[in-house]
Structure 1
Amino acid sequence: MLAHVPLMIVPLALYNLGLAGLFGDIADPWQTELFSLTMLSGGTWTLSLADLLVLVALLLLFAEVLKATRTSNASVLDHLLSTLVFVAFLVEFLLVRRAASSLFFILMAIALVDVLAGFAVSLRAASRDVNFR
């Protein structure tokens, strides 16, 4: 049953935990700098907590697309749950003041790509299984 849990719920939960004060009493915890490196060009590359969260979400999106390639009866449940997670993102984005940020919008867009990719992969796989004569 744990295999059917949509992975995009992880960035949603992490974002909300950050807003709830998990990372300290900071006004915007997502702008916290994790580290910076001086590049050979002389420029400085800085990784913030927001950047790390987007990277985690993209890796989870990859795993979700791989999950969508499975053909089983449970794939409908997977798509339904992924759609519910996207709706949760959308409702929170529209109704919660602290969720009105670029980071949250990007996470919501990644959740939308998850839903669309899941349906597209399933429809493509289903079209190969149907024979018209």
Structure 2
Amino acid sequence: MSGFGVMGPGLAAARLEERKRRQATRGQNKRRGRGPMMGIFSVFPLLTIPVVVYNLMAFVFNKGPDLVAGEAATTAPALASTLAAPIVSVPMVSGASWTMDGSDILILISLLFLFVEILKSTSTGTATILNHAVSMILFIVCLVEFLLFKNFATSAFFILTMMTLLDVLAGVVVTIVSARRDFAVGEGFN
């Protein structure tokens, strides 16, 4: 026998409801308590990855004393020529050849990260606000590097810098609109 007769139908129904409530709460806690890696992911701006990659390339392919923009340089920075080297070449049906160089690939990856960052900014919470603050710091670092260092005075890094600015602006605007909508929905329950 299932125990129905021993505990009665009311007690069995109460235990079943309690079990359902615990399972639902457990599922919510799994979603809320995402763990430390998801917390870092929500605070960490993904556009940091292409900026760090560019920084590593800029300092690895540095020709020496002409890193600072104020100093005289007779040749173009080594990074510009490295980024301009074709990496992928695909023949097209029209007979033309489509080539992608290093800067194109870096910008394409950065666009994908920007898309994910805009999706992340739709949530409201402390992690999202911290993400916007770190994104603002990243933009300031990119702007300073663009203005002060020769290896960063390229179109690819300028576009990357503008993506960090768009991340900050879009994130703040989307968060404000989301919070306003959440506030307006909450007012209807008074």
What is the TM-score with the length of structure 1 in the denominator?
Answer: 0.90
Asked if 1:116 is matched to 2:169, the reply is yes
The match for 1:2 is 40
* Contact residue 18 and residue 29 of structure 1 kept, 8 A: no
Consecutive aligned runs of 4 or more in structure 1 exceeding 2 Å deviation? 129-133
For residues 11-52 of structure 1, give each alpha carbon's deviation from its aligned partner in whole angstroms, at most 9, with x where no partner exists: 111111112227xxx923211211211111111100111100
Q: CA deviation at 1:9?
A: 0.8
Give SS of 1:78's match: helix
Asked if 1:21 is matched to 2:60, the reply is yes
Give SS of 1:20's match: helix
2-side partners of 1:5 and 1:35: how far apart? 30
The match for 1:49 is 102
Corresponding letter in the other structure for 2:125:
S
Q: What does 1:50-129 align with in structure 2 at a 5 Å threshold?
A: 50-129=103-182
Structure 2 unaligned runs (5+)? 1-38, 62-76
Q: CA deviation at 1:59?
A: 0.3
Q: CA deviation at 1:56?
A: 0.5
User: When the two structures are aligned, how many residues end up with a matched partner?
Assistant: 130
Asked if 1:37 is matched to 2:75, the reply is no
Structure 1 unaligned runs (5+)? none
Give SS of 2:60's match: coil
* Contact residue 36 and residue 46 of structure 1 kept, 8 A: yes
* Contact residue 93 and residue 104 of structure 1 kept, 8 A: yes
Give SS of 1:35's match: strand
2-side partners of 1:32 and 1:68: how far apart? 35
Larger CA Rg, structure 1 vs 2 = 2
2-side partners of 1:88 and 1:125: how far apart? 28
Structure with more of its chain in helix, by fraction:
2
**Structure 1 vs Structure 2: percent identity of aligned residues?**
40
Q: Which moved more, 1:11-20 or 1:87-96?
A: 11-20
Corresponding letter in the other structure for 2:114:
L
1-side partners of 2:102 and 2:138: how far apart? 22
Give SS of 1:130's match: helix
